Amino acid sequence: MKFHMANEDEILSGKTTDVYFIRTKEILEREKVEKRVYAEFTVMNPPYPWVVFAGLDEVVELLKGKNVNLYAMPEGTIFKGRDLHGYPVPVMAIEGDYKEFTIFETPILGFICQASGIATKAARLRLAAGNASLLSFGIRRMHPAIAPMIDRASYIGGCDGVSSLIGAEHIGEKPRGTMPHALILTLGEDEAWKKFDEFVEEGVPRIALIDTFGDEKFEAIKAAELIKDLAAVRLDTPSSRRGNFEDIIREVRWELDLRGFSHIDIFVSGGLDEDSVKRLRAAGASGFGVGTSLSNAKTIDYAMDIVEIEGVPSAKRGKFSGAKGTYKCENCGTYITVPRGTAPEKCPECGGALQSMLEPVLVNGDLVKELPTPSEIRGYVLKQLEVLYDSDNSI
């Protein structure tokens, strides 16, 4: 093995699980134990007020063909960890002989924990960026084996585009980016700008990186005068030179506007998160490339817990036993968790109609619901953000 990564066959065969699950399955098989269980996935104390559920597509690929039923919220659903009564909100559940999925608990949690964390961070950044352009630049901070997952989760969470070739392939879009400092260092600033404009295919926005050698204000003016169809200037100013970054952006914006270049946007990158994006947008930035804070987003610590065995409610201490239904008010967005089969008539908060959120995805291992495309999931996330949350990232 040249790289430290598991391939698809190794994941599907259970080699990426914890050893104690292998031992558990061996004991159950040796003792000929057949127990039909119902296991739920919840996150009772997420790191944010709300979470974007992501990673379902990989769970489906892992469990397809197994004799289990899989129920799940639609991928991209925004939810709180607990309902209005403080009960955990299940986002997914598996039903079947426990031996069928014993060894897959570890990879299933890995699929949804990290993808949901990145998608949630992207959604928070989307709120902070408003209508400004938002690109995912985070793959260089993580192992290249997971670049497609990082970019897909970033995109469905609200980013407009991703920088990696393979990530773009996975979401059905073209990769997006500007130019690196290396091009300017090897060709010189003016020549790099001109050659980029000359050789890069049509349709790619002409964005000049302006912080390699000189002052951002004067370099922005020079780039605007040199490149006819310049779309934006990019500031990736290092932290040691930033001072008041908001005022640098305001100064560049003023000088460009003063000279008739109000159509040229200001794109910024480097060490950004949702707080700095919100401040810099207010100062005049109209595009953002976010890297480490996105790809290194806090994981969502879902847990998988058996809550029912052979139809009898049973769960470990600290967990809520019995299979559950999850409902969401179509009017106010309130979540309600109830025992499965006891659907409430209306929302107790506003009286609105309730929607069941756990849908059958696999029945006896067969796919019964067509999975949406990344673009459709992204649209679903953006619609929820627009309807349910205000600009302060609060519900």
Taking only the tens place, the pLDDT of each residue in 54-66 is: 999 999 999 999 9
The Cα 21–Cα 31 span in angstroms is 15
pLDDT-above-70 percentage for the chain: 98
Rounded to 5, what percent of the chain is helix, strand, coil? 40, 20, 40
In a domain, 21, yes or no: no
Dist CA 296 CA 86 (whole Å): 29
256 and 391 in a common domain: no
Strands 78-79 and 51-52, bridge-based pairing: antiparallel
Q: End of a domain among 290, 313, 344? A: 290
pLDDT per residue as tens digits for the range 163-192: 999 999 999 999 998 899 999 999 999 999
Which residues span the domain enclosing 219? Answer: 177-290
- Alpha-carbon Rg for the chain, nearest whole angstrom, is 24
Q: What is the pLDDT of residue 213?
A: 93
Contact 304, 40 (CB under 8 A): yes
Rounded mean pLDDT, 40-44: 96
Calpha distance 52→149 (Å, rounded): 15
β-pairing, 230-235 vs 265-269, is parallel
Q: End of a domain among 290, 320, 353?
A: 290
pLDDT of residue 390: 56
Are residues 246 and 201 part of one domain?
yes
Q: What is the DSSP string of 174-227?
A: -------HHHHHHH-HHHHHHHHHHHSPTTS-EEEE--SSS-HHHHHHHHHHH-
At 158-169, the pLDDT tens digits run 999 999 999 999
For residues 293 and 270, give the distance between their C-alpha atoms in angstroms, rounded to a whole number: 10
Q: How confident is the model at residue 394 (pLDDT cuts 50, 70, 90)?
A: low
Give the span between the Cα atoms of 395 and 207, in whole angstroms: 36
* 26's tokens: 């061996």
pLDDT at 391 over 50: no
Within a domain: residue 12?
Answer: no
Residue 393 confidence (pLDDT) above 70: no
Cβ neighbours, 10 Å, residue 224: 20
Give 268-309 pLDDT, tens digit per residue: 999 999 999 999 999 999 999 999 999 999 999 999 999 999
Cα separations in angstroms, 15 against 22, 106, 303: 9, 10, 20
> What is the structure's pLDDT at 392?
47
Residue 369 lies in a domain: yes
Q: Mean pLDDT over all residues of the chain?
A: 94
Q: Do 147 and 199 belong together in one domain?
A: no
Beta strand 133-136 with 161-162 is: parallel
What is d(CA 73, CA 326) in angstroms, rounded to the nearest whole number? 9
Co-location of 336 and 229 in the same domain: no
Q: Residue 260: pLDDT above 50? A: yes
From CA 12, how far away is CA 8, in angstroms rounded? 6
Provide the pLDDT for residue 255.
97
Residue 350 lies in a domain: yes
> Does the structure show a pLDDT above 90 at 321?
yes
Give the total number of structural domains in the chain: 2
Give the other-Cβ count within 10 Å of 352's Cβ. 16
- CA 75, CA 18: separation in Å to the nearest integer? 26
Which of 235, 255, 290 is the endpoint of a domain?
290
Statement to judge: residues 182 and 70 lie in one domain: no
The interaxial angle of helices 374-388 and 105-129, nearest 10 deg, is 60
**Per-residue model confidence as pLDDT tens digits over 106-139:** 999 999 999 999 999 999 999 999 999 999 999 9
- The residue type at 71: Y
Q: What is the CATH number for 76? A: 3.20.140.10
Q: Which residue has the tokens 């104390």?
A: 45
Q: Is residue 198 domain-shared with residue 268, that is, in the same domain? A: yes
